[in-house]
Amino acid sequence: MEEKIRNAYDTVSSVNGEAFKDIFLMSNPVLSKTAYNNDFLHNYLNGNDPGPHSVFQVALKILMYYLKSAVHFAAYMITFVEHHLFMNKFKISRDSDELVLIDTYFVMDRIRKAEKFEEWLFPGLEDLLKKKARHYAYLPFFYSSPYAKRLPESCGVMKILKRDMVPVLAEYQLLTIGDLLRMACFIVTYPLHVASLLKKIIPDSHEKKLLRYELIDTIDQVTFHSFSRYLQGRRISGLPYRRIKVISWYENQPVHKNLYRGMRSDPSKVRIYGAQLFLHSKNYIPIIPDVNEESFGVIPDRIIANGEYYMPERSKFDYRVGPSLRYARVFNTIIRRENQKNILILLPYVEATAENIIRTFLGSKLPHDNVFVKLHPGTPLEKIRSIIPPDMVITGDDTYKLFESAKIVISAASGTLIEAASLGIAAISIKNGKRFDYDNPLIEYGRGIIWDEAFGADELARHVEKFKRAMENDAESLIAVADRYRKIFFREVTQAGIEEAFDL
């Protein structure tokens, strides 16, 4: 499996050496090796050989691309106006030599429901910047799922950010009317850029045939939001500071590649710290920086890993282990065996995977009492509420509060499985055979002791019973594995650790 994933990675990498000379193609999700919104990797790993698209299919996809892009761009323009009406503009200081930008996701539904802003990817970082009297601002990528909710939510979110005086340097403040026209030009001509690349890809291998197929199949996806990040980056590089330090949540996606390339318009001024402070499988290829892309300026100056396990054996890039900001509580949460009564189902971001977990659990015939279900903050509850029985509790409580009473955690391709196992809670990963999903982020060590994979309902039921017996008869083995996991997957959060990782 690892070799096949590497072959797929190398195929895309070989094409990107030519493709990324065209800034428009840097917004293409297939070329960024993303697997959640295209089926290139799924088709390759499963030996699929989809036939060529008909002329009608291609024409329909291009038509849908223009229709969807027009709707999204209209919404973007309205939000642009709303920002100038309702948001405080970040005060750009000409008295400060340095600006620190925190490049992160603002999940609008999360902010609206909480009626306040809470930094969930870099908790504690803002407090330290305030303590050190640093000149800083958030550089948000506003996210809403589904996107159709973004327009009615954005105004309310902006009012909350203004009320709480959150320092936000939003894209709407950075971009000019000229940039909006460039985005419109991108929308109009993007399919032509993809077509030009297709002519250059010689289908002399199965991998390249699949890549050509997927580039056509995804032509209807809206991509100008990623291109807008390139325009933002160019504006940031022109801000009146001698030094700009960017602490960026780094997943190596089109939104990151575009932003970094834009900021490298003045590489002497901007230094980028790519924070991969999350838990993932080593087979999660989209986050691996590609040496063939280095010349395009899309790789951070330093990459901050979440634990020793994620440090590559060899790399030409500057890797450091940083403080596990999101996981500080893994070191101070105590799980008491007498409180462990519940099964906790933590649903991941991908809707199809979340639905598969629920259906697998229902098919297992396991009792529904003391079963709690929590959704990923980016997944709309309405999509799967109809298949969750009323005797299973849907909860929005804090995950670590739920861990305190959990005896087994069920999820898929999620870092929460590692968090649970690191606390001594048995974890089960549900595999979805219908589509490609990244390998379980857990490692072989501890399998069968504190975690396992279930490929169907019957296997899930067997694993649940196995771990119930283990908790009663061999809890010491679970604790030993948990201790090892905490050491390799995480690093404790200290002020000195934050300062060292980001040169603060």
Domains for the chain: give ranges and CATH numbers. 1-322 (no CATH), 330-489 (3.40.50.2000)
* pLDDT (tens digit per residue) in 161-176: 889 999 999 999 999 9
pLDDT tier for residue 345 given thresholds of 50, 70 and 90 = very high
Residue 87 pLDDT:
81
Residue 1 pLDDT:
61
Average pLDDT of 270-297?
A: 90
Average pLDDT of 53-63?
A: 95
The number of helices, as runs of H, and strands, as runs of E, in the chain is 18, 12
Residue 434 pLDDT:
58
User: Both tokens of residue 214?
Assistant: 């997927």
Cβ within 8 Å of residue 361, ≥6 positions away: 345, 371, 410, 430, 457, 460
pLDDT tier for residue 453 given thresholds of 50, 70 and 90 = very high
Average pLDDT of 401-417?
A: 91
pLDDT tier for residue 148 given thresholds of 50, 70 and 90 = very low
Query: Taking Cα atoms as reference points, which of 273, 302, 272, 299 lies closest to residue 288?
Result: 299
Q: Which element (helix H / strand E) includes 26?
A: none
Biggest CA–CA distance in the chain, Å, is: 68
User: Both tokens of residue 305?
Assistant: 């890993």
Contact of 237 with 99, CB cutoff 8 Å? no
Contact of 219 with 22, CB cutoff 8 Å? no
Q: What percent of the chain has pLDDT over 70?
A: 95
Residue 110: C-alpha distances to residues 107, 122, 210, 259, 328 (Å): 5, 15, 37, 24, 21
| Stronger pLDDT, 428 or 96, i.e. the higher one | 428
Across 94-108, 245-259, 409-423, which has the greatest mean pLDDT?
245-259
Which of 110-124, 185-199, 222-236, 292-306 has the weakest average pLDDT? 110-124
Residue 151 pLDDT:
58
What is d(CA 487, CA 41) in angstroms, rounded to the nearest whole number? 32
pLDDT tier for residue 304 given thresholds of 50, 70 and 90 = very high
Q: Residue type at 467? A: F
Q: Which three-class secondary structure state does DSSP give residue 269?
A: coil
Q: Which element (helix H / strand E) includes 495?
A: helix 495-502
Which of 127-136, 190-199, 387-396, 438-447 has the weakest average pLDDT? 438-447
Residue 389 pLDDT:
86
Which of 364-373, 377-386, 476-485 has the weakest average pLDDT? 377-386
Contact of 409 with 346, CB cutoff 8 Å? yes
Q: For residue 454, list its beta bridge partners.
A: 430
Outline where 201-249 has alpha helix (H). 206-217, 224-237
Mean pLDDT of the chain: 90
Q: What percent of the chain has pLDDT over 90?
A: 62
Residue 179: C-alpha distances to residues 139, 147, 223, 224, 262 (Å): 17, 22, 15, 12, 13
What is d(CA 101, CA 90) in angstroms, rounded to the nearest whole number? 12
User: Both tokens of residue 352?
Assistant: 């199809």
* pLDDT (tens digit per residue) in 29-49: 999 887 778 888 878 777 888
Residue 475 pLDDT:
82
